[in-house]
Amino acid sequence: MMQRDVTKWIIIFSCCVVFSCSKTTSVRPIYTPPSPITGKTYSADEITAFKQLTLNATNNIVVKLPRQVAIFLADTGYLYMTKEIDSIISQVNRLLDTNLVLTRTADRFASSLQIHLTDRNTYIGIEPSAAPVLQNAEHTGMAYLHWNDQGIVYRGSIFVDMQKTANDTLQQRYLIHHEIMHAMGFLGHVKLPSIYTVLFYFTVTPYILNYTDFDKHIMQLLYNPSVKAGIKEAEFNEVVKNL
């Protein structure tokens, strides 16, 4: 008998909205904070921030892109954005070597990740499930991912609202960094003020236009072969001690 894929999805916003849907009104047990985990090259703050971006945002599962991902850029009319995306792709490829290989394809059907630089209604036409959220909010971007039980992303889309951010090319360049990083499996936002990142929970200005040292360091952590897709926090804590 065929096993059915249990699909999960999550919507990420480029703005600064924390996942309000995860709040609960039930009485919480008394909480004892665990002792901070540190790695060999990762500080306790870095690991806490990493968890805010990954395990805490995904119901305690490490989510990763597969080793090879073809990206389809649906809107190639903005040359500076095409250039930015290509530059991000080569930067990530250099940083992560064979642990993650991103390519750009002109064939929509050969891609597993699509980038849409358009207006809200056009994007909703392509990703209808995003409608309820996008229609009632001020979001200027989104990353929408689907992953399987093994924590591997098999489909996703990225949206930058070019209409809402018209003429603000710096914001658009920041947004594409932000959304691509979400699409790599960093689904949450960082709430530690000590951390400088494109994924901070509110938009930092001046806009961050390049991945920061922290961003690059945790990309290397998530795509370290020892950090396997699908693992949960207890296993991650054991693994990261040696990294």
Site residue total, Zn ion (CB under 5 A) = 2
On whether the CB atoms of residues 145 and 10 are closer than 8 A, the answer is yes
**Residue nearer to Zn ion on the CB measure, 215 or 231:** 215
Name the E strands within the chain. 8-13, 68-73, 101-105, 113-118, 141-147, 153-161
**Residue nearer to Zn ion on the CB measure, 12 or 231:** 12
Using the rule CB under 5 A, give the single segment among 5-13, 86-94, 156-164, 224-232 that binds Zn ion. 5-13
Instruction: Look at the alpha carbons of 217, 64, 82, 189 in this order and tell me if their dihedral is positive or negative.
Output: negative
Q: How far is the CB of 37 from Zn ion (least distance, A)?
A: 24
Q: Give Cβ neighbours of residue 76 (< 8 Å, ≥ 6 apart).
A: 82
Q: How far is the CB of 22 from Zn ion (least distance, A)?
A: 15
- Specify the pairing of strand 141-147 against strand 8-13: antiparallel
Q: Binding string, 11-40, against Zn ion, x = CB under 5 A?
A: -x-x--------------------------
Query: Side by side, which strands form the sheet with 8-13?
Result: 8-13, 141-147, 153-161, 113-118, 68-73, 101-105
**Residue nearer to Zn ion on the CB measure, 153 or 240:** 153
Q: How far is the CB of 189 from Zn ion (least distance, A)?
A: 6
Mapped onto helix, strand or coil, the DSSP state of residue 228 is coil
Using the rule CB under 5 A, give the single segment among 9-17, 36-44, 166-174, 223-231 that binds Zn ion. 9-17
Instruction: Look at the alpha carbons of 37, 41, 45, 46 in this order and tell me if their dihedral is positive or negative.
Output: negative
**Residue nearer to Zn ion on the CB measure, 50 or 240:** 50
**Residue nearer to Zn ion on the CB measure, 18 or 152:** 18
**Residue nearer to Zn ion on the CB measure, 18 or 89:** 18
Using the rule CB under 5 A, give the single segment among 10-18, 56-64, 69-77, 90-98 that binds Zn ion. 10-18
**By beta-carbon distance, which residue lies closest to Zn ion?**
14
Q: Give Cβ neighbours of residue 190 (< 8 Å, ≥ 6 apart).
A: 49, 52, 53, 197, 199, 200, 201
Residues that bind Zn ion (CB under 5 A): 12, 14
